[in-house]
Every structure is written in structure tokens, then in C-alpha cells.
Amino acid sequence: MDKEYVGFAALPNQLHRKSVKKGFDFTLMVAGESGLGKSTLINSLFLTNLYEDRQVPEASARLTQTLTIERRGVEIEEGGVKVKLTLVDTPGFGDSVDCSDCWLPVVRFIEEQFEQYLRDESGLNRKNIQDSRVHCCLYFISPFGRGLRPLDVAFLRAVHEKVNIIPVIGKADALMPKETQALKQKIRDQLKEEEINIYQFPECDSDEDEDFKRQDAEMKGSIPFAVVGSCEVVRDGGTRPVRGRRYSWGTVEVENPQHCDFLNLRRMLVQTHLQDLKEVTHDLLYEGYRARCLQSLARPGARDRTSRSKLSRQSATEIPLPMLPLAETEKLIREKDEELRRMQEMLEKMQAQMQQSQAQGEQSDAL
Amino acid sequence: MSELVPEPRPKPAVPMKPVSINSNLLGYIGIDTIIEQMRKKTMKTGFDFNIMVVGQSGLGKSTLVNTLFKSQVSRKASSWNREEKIPKTVEIKAIGHVIEEGGVKMKLTVIDTPGFGDQINNENCWEPIEKYINEQYEKFLKEEVNIARKKRIPDTRVHCCLYFISPTGHSLRPLDLEFMKHLSKVVNIIPVIAKADTMTLEEKSEFKQRVRKELEVNGIEFYPQKEFDEDLEDKTENDKIRQESMPFAVVGSDKEYQVNGKRVLGRKTPWGIIEVENLNHCEFALLRDFVIRTHLQDLKEVTHNIHYETYRAKRLNDNGGLPPVSVDTEESHESNP
């Protein structure tokens, strides 16, 4: 036995075992107009039939329908790991003739989850905090349009600072390969133009091998993911059974990377970045919300942004309204770090005031 | 602007079918050559056809019209990278072409409606379209009531409106219902399911059933309207189309590929080639035959005898039974109503 062996290299294993025992919470929001294959894709991703009892109302019923938020929970277990998956659906989005402000209920919902977490975190009993915050929003873009529609842009701008957005092109089997490429490029250009921040998959470590780096770059280059979903298995006479959609002219295979980006999406969302999505939600998006909230609590009269002399940073990133002008990835990482540091400082400052207002807040717990 | 007044529709102004006389003719007279005479005249003068396309952007409207008439007759060149921005309000863009086939000349006008259904708030976005259609009726009416009438009044009236339904697989969208409710009494609407290559056979058939039911429940009569079937033959033929085939699930394309040694119009995907004119793949051929090969003349007649007459009656009524004063001077065009 090696005398220099201490043994804390076993720590990751311990953490792993603990989290396997504890299970894993994840809240995924799915948004986009109806008919883009959202439910089918979710069923395909998680190999469940979450939407079995769903009723899609007729057009005349949807004339004046307001957007509702629906939550469905499912527990999935695989390899001993339990995942408690919560799906948030937004039926009615983009359906009505007049869709003005139809995204407001979604924004409100996301903020409510932050609010709830903030209250729980500041409360006395923190042992069993339920994390109902939305960790990721899969936004479905129509393959029939010419890129983002005005409604897409409005929705994305309203939520991009509050939730991790992963844009996908639904029903991608409507497109020929060249059309898919052109549409993806158009969407990427539009996202840049409209300054919409989608979830940035982190850079892979520099010590990874070339193959992995290439694969990683390829996956990142295929965003927005052009997906096709299916829960039906097609068994064509000599070939092996595949999950797909059978047409008179051929069969689209969901898990064939030549046909669509389903595998990429599944890999990046479920297999590699589930934890990172949660972390970014907590460290960046939630902290941003919390900071804004506490600032306005601590100084009820100081809504005036110009009188922020106490805080040292001059940039616009500290305004309560989410107007982070994040441009490039490196800048984002740098600012992410800086914000975390700044949050720490502010936290210390607020501690004293929090304890005071907390005592009062507990009594009038009308929240 | 125009509310749907529940007026009784005027009876079609088509002359009654002549009673057939005892056909024991003693010799051949030659009245049947009238068909040939009419045909010759039509070939000489050519005819007008005005088709409007309505639907959200990206549903393949321009490509489909180009495919229908096998020429680049639509507003845009059919390359995918169209850089044009979505207009803020619905625009009406009419483009005319003369196409010729078998010695017959057709002056085809394609009326595009960019901007329809693309905004966040699409309230009343059908109004510019309704206005345009009525304006064409008005133009015709003014010519008709002129003292010195032209030999052939230029016909810019919309004979056919193809309405593109998005292939959601669920049902119609509220905007679809609203549009068709307002416009089906003013123009011949032919609903088509666009980009139908995203639906499997079962999905297609279910979707079509649901759409037909929804249209029926909402009292929307698309062309061919039941009330204008002239005789039993028409009725049976049209019933079959109305209850089984429509709305046609179509795919359009302007690219050709080699399939089994033939060049066909289609879309090439990694999982197969979709042939536009293959009835196993989509119903484009049915739509084309319906609009062009069998019902073209009927579309024009219903427009003239029903929709236009309704408009005219309403206008004259509003005016107290007097014809509207017309003082415009348009250049004369050769055309048939």
C-alpha cells in the first residue's frame, strides 16, 4: 500500500453515491405553438407516454383561449439513478388570433418559482427545499417559417434572462438538408441580431482528445437542433426495427444522425448537461433574480437607478431589469465569475439587513 | 367592413337546361359543331384566370402555384434563401403572366398576400384581402353600368382563393376559421393542407376528417359549394370531392430528380424522394386536375354568377336601386368575363 495515498480521490464516488441515493430533480419547460411535435418529442426523449390523456381542443374553442401552464411529473429510473422530472407545458401559446402578451403568464410562472425558492431559502426550515425552478426551456420553432417569427422573438426576449433556452426546430422531417442548414443559419443570425441569449453549452476541457473536441464542436454547430420525434417502432421487412415515422417514400429514423439531431439533443440535454443546466439556473439566473429582489427590498425608496453609488461596478448589469448585454462566450464566462464574486460581497452586506427584515417578514407571511 | 348579412342568395343566373326535343331528326343539322366554334373562339381570344393564395409565410404558397402552372408565375423566385422581411400589414401583390398550352392562351394573375397571419396580433388581418376582392367586383360593376361598354370587360375578379392550412396534425387554427368564415361568402375558397410531407398516411386522413368536421360545424362552405351543384351528376362528383378528397394535402416543388429513370418534380431527403405528382405521396395531382382540368370554367362561372351578383345586388340595393355613377376611363383589355 502506498504511504502517500490519502484517499480523498474517492470523494467523487461518495458524492455520486449520495446523489444516486438522493435522486435528482429536473424541471423542463416546453414552449412553442401547437402542432410542432412537442409532446411527441418529450415522449421520445424520455421514453414515456406523458401525454396519453391529452385532449387538444378544437379551433373554435381556442379562439379566445388564454395561455395556461400545465405541470406533469414523472419519475424515471435508470441504472439505479432516480430522476424526478417535471414537465411544464404551455398549451395555448401562439394559438389565438391575437397573441399579444401571451408570454406574460410564462414569465410570471418562472419568476414565481424563483420567488418560492427565495422564500424557502430564507426560511427557517431549509432541510427539504423543493426546487421547482425551471432549469431549461426547450423552445420549438416552426420548420415552415423563414426563421424566427415575431412571436418567437417576443417570447424569447421575455424569458432569455430568466431561464436556459435551448431552441429546437420541430417536425424537422419537413425540410430537405439544404433547407435545414439555411433555416438554422437564419435562426442563429436572428438570435444574434435580436440579442437573445440562449443556453451556452460550456467549452470542453482543453485536455480532451481531438475526436471529442471535434464531436463537441459539431454538436454545438448543429444548434438549433432540428428534431423529429416518434414513439412508434417501424419494422420494415429485412432491416432492424427503428423508432421512426413511416412515409410512402421512406422512413425517417429518429435516432439516425443523418436524418435529424435527436441524438445530439438527447446527448447534450440528458446525458451531459443536465447538471450544468441546473447549476446555471441556480448560479446565474436565480442569483440574478435574487439580487434584484433583495436590492428592491433593502432600499424600498431607491428605485432610482442613478443613485447606485454603493455598488462599485459601473456597467449596466446591475439594473434590476434583466438587460445583461452579454455578447461573446468568453465575456459571458468572465462576467459570470465576476457576478458570483459580487454576489458574495453583496450577500455579506445584506446579511445584517436581511436578519432584521426576516424577523418581521416571518410574522406577516402572507407571501 | 362588410358584415355577413344573412340575405337570401340570388338564384344562379344560369339559363335553365333546354328541354330536349324529340330527337328523331331526319338528317344531320350540325348544331353540335357549336362546341368546336366556341373552342376556336376561346383559343383566339384566350381567357383570364385570377388565383389568390392566402396563408402564413413559409407554407409553400409561391412554390405550389409555380408547380401548378409549371412556370415561374409567382411573386418570388423559388430559391429558399429569401431575404425579404415579413411585412407589418397584409399586402396584396398581383402578378400577371400569359402562359400558353396547345394553342390556348391564358392570362394568369397570381395574387399573393404576404403578411397574412404572421404578426403577433392578427386581428382582422383578412380585411385588406376582403377589401381587394370587393374592389375587383366594384371595378367590374362600374364597367358594366357604363353607357358605352367595352366589348370585353377586363376581369380582375378573384376566381379562386387557395387557403393554406398549416399541417399541425391537430385541427384548424382560430385564424383559419376566422378567415374562412369571413371570406367564404365572397370568394371561392379552396382549402389545401400545405407541406403535407410531414404527415404519415394515418395522420393525414385523421387531420382531414377533423378539418372537414370543423368547417362543417362552423358553417363554412368551401368550393365546390353544395348549393350550387346544378344537377345530380355534378352533385355526385362534387360530393365525392367534398367528403373524401378535400382539403387536398399537397407538396410543391420546383426541383427535379431522377426516379426510376424518369425526371420528376420532388423533394429529396435522406430517407427518400417525395414525388409531387405521385398520388401515393401527396394529392398535388388531384388539386391540379380539380382546379385546372375540370373546374376551371366552373370557378369562373360561380364567381361571376354568384359572388359577383351578390355583390352587385347589395350595391344596387344600398344605392336605392340605382346603378352607381361611373366616370373612370380604363384602357381596354381583351378578356372574357
Residue B230 is predicted with a pLDDT of 83
Q: Is A193 on the interface with B (CB under 8 A)?
A: no
Whether A234 has a pLDDT exceeding 90, the answer reads no
Looking at per-residue confidence, does B320 or A180 come out higher?
A180
Sequence-distant (≥ 6) Cβ neighbours of residue B189 within 8 angstroms: B161, B163, B180, B183, B222, B223
Residue A53 is predicted with a pLDDT of 59
Confidence of residue B1 (pLDDT cuts 50, 70, 90): very low
Candidates B61, B173, B256: best to mutate against A (most CBs of A within 10 A) is B173
CA A26 – CA A319 distance, rounded (Å): 29
Q: What residue in B sits closest to A63 (Cα-Cα)?
A: B174
Residue A334 is predicted with a pLDDT of 76
Confidence of residue B110 (pLDDT cuts 50, 70, 90): very high
Mean pLDDT for chain B overall: 85
pLDDT (mean) for A272-281: 88
Residue A364 is predicted with a pLDDT of 59
Q: Is B264 on the interface with A (CB under 8 A)?
A: no
Q: Is A104 on the interface with B (CB under 8 A)?
A: no
Q: What are the φ/ψ torsions at residue A178 (nearest 5 degrees)?
A: -65, -40
Quick check: A102 and A94 in contact, CB under 8 A? Answer: yes
Whether B197 has a pLDDT exceeding 80, the answer reads yes
Number of separate domains in chain A: 1
CA A173 – CA A286 distance, rounded (Å): 36
Whether A305 has a pLDDT exceeding 60, the answer reads no
Distance from CA of A97 to the nearest CA of B (A): 5
pLDDT (mean) for A214-221: 83
CA B48 – CA B297 distance, rounded (Å): 10
Residue A24 belongs to what domain range? Answer: 17-49+66-297
Whether A233 has a pLDDT exceeding 60, the answer reads yes
Residue B257 is predicted with a pLDDT of 92
Q: What residue in A sits closest to B217 (Cα-Cα)?
A: A60
CB contact under 8 Å between A174 and B195, yes or no, is yes
Q: Is residue A111 part of a domain?
A: yes
Share of chain A above pLDDT 70, in %: 84
Residue A311 is predicted with a pLDDT of 42
Answer positive or negative: Cα dihedral of B220, B224, B227, B233. negative
> Who among B58, B210, B274 is closest to A146 (CB)?
B58
Residue B289 is predicted with a pLDDT of 93
> Who among B123, B172, B176 is closest to A98 (CB)?
B123
Confidence of residue A41 (pLDDT cuts 50, 70, 90): very high
CB contact under 8 Å between B121 and A98, yes or no, is yes
3-class SS string, chain B: CCCCCCCCCCCCCCCCCCCCCCCCCCCCCCCCHHHHHHHHHHHHHCEEEEEEEECCCCCCHHHHHHHHCCCCCCCCCCCCCCCCCCCCCCCCEEEEEEEEECCEEEEEEEEECCCCCCCCECCCCCHHHHHHHHHHHHHHHHHHCCCCCCCCCCCCCCCEEEEEECCCCCCCCHHHHHHHHHHCCCCCEEEEECCHHHCCHHHHHHHHHHHHHHHHHCCCCCCCCHHHCCCHHHHHHHHHHHHHHCCEECCCCCCEEEECCEEEEEEEECCEEEECCCCCCCCHHHHHHHHHHHCHHHHHHHHHHHHHHHHHHHHHHHCCCCCCCCCCCCCCCCCCC
Mean pLDDT is highest, among A269-283, A336-350, B279-293, for: B279-293
Mean pLDDT for chain A overall: 82
Ranges A224-233, A300-309, B12-21, B274-283: which has the least confidence: A300-309
Q: Is residue A331 part of a domain?
A: no
3-class SS string, A148-217: CCHHHHHHHHHHCCCCCEEEEECCHHHCCHHHHHHHHHHHHHHHHHCCCCCCCCCCCCCCCCHHHHHHHH
pLDDT (mean) for A126-153: 90
Q: What residue in B sits closest to A173 (Cα-Cα)?
A: B198
Sequence-distant (≥ 6) Cβ neighbours of residue B143 within 8 angstroms: B149, B150, B153, B154, B326, B330
Confidence of residue A313 (pLDDT cuts 50, 70, 90): very low
Confidence of residue B267 (pLDDT cuts 50, 70, 90): very high
Angle in degrees, CA B38, B43, B46, rounded to 5: 110
Mean pLDDT is highest, among A7-16, A299-308, B54-63, for: B54-63
Q: Is residue A59 part of a domain?
A: no
CATH assignment of the domain containing A101: 3.40.50.300
Residue A324 is predicted with a pLDDT of 37
Q: What residue in B sits closest to A259 (Cα-Cα)?
A: B270
pLDDT (mean) for B206-229: 92
Residue A321 is predicted with a pLDDT of 37
Candidates A41, A51, A58: best to mutate against B (most CBs of B within 10 A) is A58
Q: What residue in A sits closest to B179 (Cα-Cα)?
A: A97
Confidence of residue A333 (pLDDT cuts 50, 70, 90): confident
Confidence of residue B77 (pLDDT cuts 50, 70, 90): very low
Candidates A36, A248, A253: best to mutate against B (most CBs of B within 10 A) is A248
CA A106 – CA A283 distance, rounded (Å): 21
> Which residue, chain included where needed, has cell 458574495?
A344
pLDDT (mean) for A267-274: 84
Looking at per-residue confidence, does B80 or A329 come out higher?
A329
Q: What residue in B sits closest to A249 (Cα-Cα)?
A: B272
The 10 Å Cβ neighbour count of residue A135 is 26
CA B258 – CA B254 distance, rounded (Å): 14
Q: Is A152 on the interface with B (CB under 8 A)?
A: no
CB contact under 8 Å between B56 and A250, yes or no, is no
Candidates B59, B120, B254: best to mutate against A (most CBs of A within 10 A) is B120
Find chain A residues with C-beta within 8 A of B217's C-beta.
60
Residue B172 is predicted with a pLDDT of 93
Residue B16 is predicted with a pLDDT of 54
CA B11 – CA B248 distance, rounded (Å): 29
The C-alpha cell of B101 is what?
Answer: 398550352
Q: Is A98 on the interface with B (CB under 8 A)?
A: yes
pLDDT (mean) for B293-312: 94
Whether B265 has a pLDDT exceeding 80, the answer reads yes
pLDDT (mean) for B194-205: 93
Whether A197 has a pLDDT exceeding 90, the answer reads yes
pLDDT, tens digit, for every residue of A95-125?
Answer: 889 999 999 999 999 999 999 998 888 888 7
Sequence-distant (≥ 6) Cβ neighbours of residue A342 within 8 angstroms: A311, A313
Quick check: A143 and A116 in contact, CB under 8 A? Answer: no
Share of chain B above pLDDT 70, in %: 84
Looking at per-residue confidence, does B116 or A360 come out higher?
B116
pLDDT, tens digit, for every residue of B272-302?
Answer: 999 999 999 999 999 999 999 999 999 999 9
Find chain B residues with C-beta within 8 A of A97's C-beta.
121-123, 174-175, 178
Ranges A197-201, A297-301, B111-115: which has the least confidence: A297-301
Confidence of residue A9 (pLDDT cuts 50, 70, 90): confident
Q: Is residue A320 part of a domain?
A: no
Ranges A61-70, A319-328, B31-40: which has the least confidence: A319-328
Q: What residue in A sits closest to B176 (Cα-Cα)?
A: A59
Confidence of residue A293 (pLDDT cuts 50, 70, 90): confident
Candidates A96, A140, A144, A253: best to mutate against B (most CBs of B within 10 A) is A144
Find chain A residues with C-beta within 8 A of B253's C-beta.
none
CB contact under 8 Å between A63 and B177, yes or no, is yes
CB contact under 8 Å between B175 and A97, yes or no, is yes
Confidence of residue A17 (pLDDT cuts 50, 70, 90): confident
> Which residue, chain included where needed, has cell 401527396?
B282
pLDDT (mean) for A149-168: 94
Residue A327 is predicted with a pLDDT of 46
Helices (H) and strands (E) in chain A, counts: 11, 9
The C-alpha cell of B221 is what?
Answer: 362552405
The fold for domain B44-73+85-253+280-316 equals Rossmann fold (3.40.50)
pLDDT (mean) for B126-142: 95
